[in-house]
Amino acid sequence: MIMVRRVYMPKPGEGGKLLRIVRQINAETVKAGFPPLTIFTQTHGPHGMVVTEQQWESLAAYEESRDRVRQTPAITGSFSEAYPLLAETHHTEIYRRVE
């Protein structure tokens, strides 16, 4: 099992809009048959930061999904709305679960 964490830093004043769009991305992600996102906001530190986590059964399954995600207009359309709100590109981390 792996967990993919993405960190999104909005431009000042855009945090609320970004959170709304990330929730929309989650709904479209689930609708397309991908694992749901768990969405977090930061209470200390940089204001407005949104963090998502998504679990996948393997790194191979996650990597295979990238092309399918890019071919899903509802998801790519939502990301097109999110990107102009960001202060910088999102940061992705991938963790593997150890027992």
If you search the block for the tokens 């431009």, which residue do you land on?
A: 11
Q: Which residues pair with residue 6 across a beta bridge?
A: 52, 92
Among 62, 47, 50, smallest CA distance to 12 is for 47
pLDDT of residue 70: 93
What residue has token string 């998502």? 52
Q: What whole-number percentage of the chain has pLDDT above 70?
A: 100
Q: What are phi and psi of 6, to 5 degrees?
A: -120, 140
What is the pLDDT confidence band of residue 21, given thresholds at 50, 70 and 90? very high
Please state which CATH number belongs to domain 2-96.
3.30.70.100
pLDDT in tens, 57-87: 999 999 999 999 999 999 999 999 999 999 9
DSSP-assigned states of every residue in 8-47? E-BPTT-HHHHHHHHHHHHHHHHHTTPPPPEEEE-SSSST
40-56 pLDDT, tens digit each: 998 888 789 999 999 99
Which neighbouring-strand residues pair with 93?
5
